[in-house]
Structure formats: structure tokens, C-alpha cells
Amino acid sequence: MHALVLLLLTQTPLVATTGYVDSRTTGAWTQLDGAPGVTELGEANVQVKLTPDEKVKFYADVSLFWQGAWAIQGGDKDLANYRPSIVVSELYADLPLQEHFRVLVGKKRIVWGSGLSFNPTDALNPPKDPTDPTFQRAGAWLAETEWGFEKVALSLVAAGRATRTYAGLPTALVVYPDHPTAEVVRGIATDDRDEEAHFALTGRLYLLLGDLDVNLIYSYTNLYNDAFRAKSRVGLSLSRVFGNLEVHAEGSLYQGSARIAVNGDCVSAPVMCALKGIPVVTRPDLDATWFNSQALVGARYQFDDSSTLAVEYYFNGEGQDFTGYRRLATLSLQNPAVAQQALGGATDPGTPQKFTLNAIRRHYLVIQGSKPQLWDDWTISGSALIGLEDLSVQLVPQVSWMPKEWLQLTLAAYLPIAGLESEGVTLNDKHYGQFTLSPFETRVLFQARAFF
């Protein structure tokens, strides 16, 4: 009888389903053309785990997004970024062939680094929102083999970039299709195809040394999530708990830089430069042999009342010096489309984020705190992303309430602060810091999420 009851209670269900429906309504004060004053983003997410056998599992995490944008500044009312889309965050087959060995094929987000707001060792995934890292679940198309034991694990991953997608669904991986898109044929889009393979090969060795998590990571990428060709990187990630304090560090070391350099003569007249055949932006250090790095150190503390405080410092070796930053910032304000094209690249953005950061400077401090159960299920939390050169700040205070176990309501504000005038740029008598270069000024967001 006991055995029967236990079997019924503990056996792994064949299909396990979860998910949510979510609504994000945002009101914003805009400052650049193409920015909507009001947006609505509706998301229907389903996560399904299918376990037909002990030796095989299938998993899918898929969201349908409906987006609307109103009160748009400027003449262009059809904004590509606000069209409905499908985001396949994860979709894979997991084959635990032996107790300590598995093969995984499909799309999955694999994160080995210990950083919360940034992961300098992550060469695979779409970027996350440093003010709320939980909003990016999208991964990469890959195949992984992994040997995992209690104190050691070895993982090898081969990933291919989705070179063509429609409404978020990929139709080509690694290489571009032979044929151009219909938009290119009609002359309303540029042909961005090349004949190269866009891939990443990466591996990590995990060690539990005493009470310290150690990850040694090697990555080799070719035009994958950045402009580097045949680039090797080595990374290290550490994490340890001291009492109630968790301390972590993560870093990546490689040669050269993919940072863009804006031609100073073209900042005010990029079209003229283009007509003369002078590139507005270049990447002069792509093949440089000097060593570059990205690194993060941080700590997270939980208080007795379950409040948490996390502080992280991020060094971005891809960041601009002051001269480069001023040129890029001025270009962003005067010709945002040109700057965005230069900065944004063609990487998969993954899930639509509440806040997207182009880390264009070198030194950042991220402070995140939360106090749950302030009263009933009210939680207050906040993030501050601080650019340490210009003391520009992106402040995100937030209050959330769970009136039911299945319903979460959140009210948040996104408050950009320009920082030091001497370290910023001034245009038309207005001072800008790196977090006030966005098309938006202050934004207010209301979110309702119902879980099932």
C-alpha cells in the first residue's frame, strides 16, 4: 500500500506543464523620433516538459508576444520592434544516456558564470537586462555533451547562430541561405548575407574545490554574437558562501576588441561620409594582439528577514574611452539609426526586455535590493545601474504584490539620471549621460502576470 501511494505521489509525470500570461503596459516620456509614448506587450508563455522515458526528455519554453505602440514621436508609425513575434526561449531534447553523461540538442540557455547582472564569460546567449536578469530565458541553438559528477563536470558545446528568422522563428543556422530575402530583392532592405560560418565552440570544466565553485571556460567563436572572427577566449568563474554572504567573481580574457570607433569627422554628417565612401564607424582593434578582458566581482547578502542586497562591479574591456564615448554619444543623439546599427549588430535579442543596455563605457556598478513580505505579499525592490565614469544612473524602483499565489502585479519606474556634465555630452544646451541617450526619458511600467 505504501509503495503504491509513493509510486503515485513521486513518479515523474509524463507531461509537466507550466507557464503564464503577462501584460506589460508602459508609459514613457520620449525624446527621440521613433519612440512610442505608450506600449502594451502581451505575452502567453508555455513551458512543457515531456518525459516519455528515463533516457529522453523533451522541453519547450515558448512565448507568443503581441505588442502595440501608440503616441509615437516622429512620422514613422510602424515600428519593427513592436510587432507581434514568437520567442522560442528553449526547445531541446535532453538525453541522459548514463547516470553521469548526457547529450542535449536544441535551443537552450546555458550559463556557467556566477555574475548576476552581467556574465563576461557568456559567449552563447542573448544579452540580459542587468536591472532584472530574470527576464531573459532565451538560449542558443546548440548541441551539448556533459559529464557531470558531484565535484567535477565537463561540458562541451557547439552552437550555431540563427542567420535568418521570421517572426522569431529560425529558418537558417550557421550560414546564410543562398537566396536573399524578398525585401532585399525589392530593394527595401540591405543584403547582410556573407559566406562565413557563424558559430561558437565552448567548453567548461567545473570543480567544487572545498566549498568553492570554480568554472574554467574556453570559447572559440566566429562571427557569432559579436564581430570577432576565429576568436579564442578563456574565462574563470568563482562563487563561495561565507555565512549569509555569497561572493562571486567572473572574468574573460582575450585578444583585441570588437568595440566600434566613430570617425570624428562623420559624427555630424554621417550621410556625407557615406556618400564619399568614408566609413562612419570602424572596428580597428578586431585583430589586435593586445590582451583585453571583461570582469565582474560581486556579493549577495541575505538578511534575517529575507531581504537581499547584491552589489556587483563590472569592468567592460569593450567600453569606450572618453573621446570615443563622446563621438558615439553625439552620433546616437544626432543619428540614432546609424548609431544603433553600428552598436546593435545582428545578434538574437531573445525575449523583449524591460531595459536594454549597450555597455558603451568601461566601469559599472550594479546595486540590487529587495525586501519581501513588507506587508502581506508586498515586495519592494530596486536596482541602480551606475556608470562610474560619468556617474550616470539608471534607477529602477519597483513594488510588487502577489494577491494570489498565481497572480503577481508589479509597478516599476525607469529613471535615467544624466550624471556629471563634464563627463557627458551636451547637445542643443541639454546635457546627456550614457543612460539618458535612450529614446526614452522616464518610463513607468505596470505588469500583471498570472501563472498556471
Partner 1 sequence: MTTSLLLALMLTAEPPALKEVLTKYDAVMAPATFKATATMTAHRDDGTTRGYKMNILKGADDKSRIWFQEPAAVRGQEMLRNGENFWVYMPNLKRALRLASRDNFQGGDFNNADVLRASYAADYQGTVKEDAAKPETWLLELKSTNPDTSYDSIKLWVLKSPLGIPVRGEYFTSSGKMLRSAEFSDVKDFGNGHKRPSHVVMRNEIATQRFSEMHWDAVDTAAPVGDGKFSLSDLGH
Catalog residues that contact partner 1 under the rule CB under 8 A: 2-3, 5-6, 9-10, 16, 18, 20, 47, 57, 90, 94, 96, 99-100, 102, 108-112, 114, 133-135, 137, 139, 146, 148-150, 153, 155, 206, 208, 211, 213, 239-241, 243-246, 248, 300, 302, 304, 306, 372-373, 375-377, 402, 405-406, 408, 451-452
C-alpha cell at 101: 553523461
CB of 343 to partner 1, least distance (A): 25
Name residue, grid cell 502585479. Answer: 409
Name residue, grid cell 521570421. Answer: 166
Among 56, 66, 59, smallest CA distance to 17 is for 59
Containing 7, the helix (H) or strand (E) segment is helix 2-10
How many other C-beta atoms are found inside a 10 Å radius of the C-beta of residue 167?
A: 11
CB of 367 to partner 1, least distance (A): 17
CB of 405 to partner 1, least distance (A): 4
Q: Which is nearer to partner 1, 20 or 218 (CB)?
A: 20
Q: Which is nearer to partner 1, 89 or 436 (CB)?
A: 89
Please return the burial class of 153, using the count of CB atoms within 10 Å of its CB with bins 0-12, 13-18 and 19+.
middle
3-state secondary structure of 76: coil
CB of 242 to partner 1, least distance (A): 9
Q: Which is nearer to partner 1, 112 or 435 (CB)?
A: 112
CA distances from 145 to 4, 97, 110, 148 (A): 36, 10, 12, 10
C-alpha cell at 98: 548514463
What's the CA gap between 192 and 176, in Å, rounded? 9
CA distances from 99 to 16, 66, 132, 146, 147 (A): 22, 42, 35, 11, 9
Among 36, 31, 109, smallest CA distance to 67 is for 36
C-alpha cell at 176: 546564410
Q: Which is nearer to partner 1, 91 or 415 (CB)?
A: 91
User: Which residues pair with residue 200 across a beta bridge?
Assistant: 159, 221
Handedness of CA 261, 342, 125, 451 (dihedral sign): positive
CB of 14 to partner 1, least distance (A): 15
DSSP string spanning 370-398? EEEEEETTEEEEEEEEEETTTTEEEEEEE
CB of 47 to partner 1, least distance (A): 7
Containing 152, the helix (H) or strand (E) segment is strand 152-160
Q: Which is nearer to partner 1, 121 or 335 (CB)?
A: 121
3-state secondary structure of 276: helix
CB of 76 to partner 1, least distance (A): 34
Strands (E) located in 54-181: 56-72, 85-98, 101-108, 140-148, 152-160, 162-166, 169-173
CB of 382 to partner 1, least distance (A): 18
Q: Which is nearer to partner 1, 47 or 165 (CB)?
A: 47
CB of 148 to partner 1, least distance (A): 3
CB of 452 to partner 1, least distance (A): 6
Q: Which is nearer to partner 1, 92 or 435 (CB)?
A: 92
Q: Which is nearer to partner 1, 371 or 431 (CB)?
A: 371
Q: Which is nearer to partner 1, 10 or 422 (CB)?
A: 10
What's the CA gap between 438 and 364, in Å, rounded? 17
Q: Which is nearer to partner 1, 59 or 199 (CB)?
A: 59
CB of 40 to partner 1, least distance (A): 22
Among 38, 2, 11, 105, smallest CA distance to 445 is for 38
Q: Which is nearer to partner 1, 153 or 365 (CB)?
A: 153
What's the CA gap between 67 and 85, in Å, rounded? 8
